[in-house]
Amino acid sequence: MDRRTTIQWVLAAGAASSLLGPRTSQAGPVTAWRGASGSQGYGTDPNLLKVYRPGDFWPLTLTAAQRRLAGVLADLIIPADDQSPSASAVGVVDFIDEWVSAPYPDNQRDRPIVLRGFAWLDAQAQRRFHKDFAALDAAGHKAICDEICDSARAAAGRRDAARFFALYRDLTAGGFYTTPVGRKDLKYIGNVPRANFDGPPAELLSKLNLP
Partner 1 sequence: MPFVTPKSQQRAYDVIVVGSGAGGGQSAYTLCMDGARVLMLEAGRHYAPETETPMFQTPDMAPLAGVSTPQKPFGFYDATADGGWTVPGEPYVRATEEQAGRFEWWRARMLGGRTNHWGRISLRNGPYDFKPRSRDGLGFDWPIGYEDVAPYYDKVELLVGVYGSNEGLENTPNSSPGCLLPPPAPLVSDYLVRQRARHLGIPVIPGHRAVLTRAQDFKRVPALLHPGNTKAQKILAEAMRARSPCLWATPCGRGCAIRANYQSTTVHLPPALATGNLDIATDAMVYEVTLGRDGRASGVSFIDRKTGTHQQAAARVVILAASACETVRILLNSKSAQFPHGLANSSGKVGRYLMDTVGSTVTGQVPLLESLPPLNEDAADGHQLYVPWWLYREQLAGKLGFARGYHIEFGGGRRMPGFATMQGIEWLTGGSYGRKFKEDARRYYGSFVGFDGRGEMIPNESSYCEIDPSVKDEWGIPVLRFHWRWSEHERRQAAHMQRTFGDIIEAMGGRTHPAVERDGAKAIAPGGSIIHEVGGGIMGADARSSVTNAWSQTWDVPNLYLTDGAVFASNADKNPTLTIMALAWRASDHILERMRRKEL
Q: Which of residues 77-96 bind partner 1 (CB under 8 A)?
A: 77-79, 81, 83-84, 91, 95
Instruction: Note whether 62 and 70 are within 8 A (CB).
Output: yes
- Selected from 65, 119, 155, 186, the binder of partner 1 by CB under 8 A is 186
- Selected from 113, 143, 160, 185, the binder of partner 1 by CB under 8 A is 185
Is 49 among the residues that bind partner 1 (CB under 8 A)?
yes
Is 134 among the residues that bind partner 1 (CB under 8 A)?
no
Is 105 among the residues that bind partner 1 (CB under 8 A)?
yes
Question: What is the smallest separation between the CB atom of 128 and partner 1, expressed in angstroms?
Answer: 19
Which one-letter amino acid corresponds to residue 71?
G
Question: What is the smallest separation between the CB atom of 56 and partner 1, expressed in angstroms?
Answer: 7
d(CA 193, CA 208): 28
Question: What is the smallest separation between the CB atom of 106 and partner 1, expressed in angstroms?
Answer: 8
**CA R_g for the chain:** 20
Query: Which among 170, 172, 149 has a CA at the least distance from the CA of 159?
Result: 149
Name the segment binding partner 1 (CB under 8 A); options: 60-68, 111-119, 129-137, 177-185.
177-185
Which one-letter amino acid corresponds to residue 19?
L
d(CA 196, CA 145): 47
Q: What is the DSSP string of 52-117?
A: --TTSSS-----HHHHHHHHHHHHHHS---SSS--TGGGTHHHHHHHHHH--SHHHHHHHHHHHHH
Is 156 among the residues that bind partner 1 (CB under 8 A)?
no
The residue (of 28 and 157) whose beta carbon lies closer to partner 1 is 28
Is 139 among the residues that bind partner 1 (CB under 8 A)?
no
Is 37 among the residues that bind partner 1 (CB under 8 A)?
no
The residue (of 47 and 130) whose beta carbon lies closer to partner 1 is 47
Name the segment binding partner 1 (CB under 8 A); options: 62-70, 118-126, 127-135, 176-184.
176-184
Cis peptide before 211 (omega within 30 of 0): yes
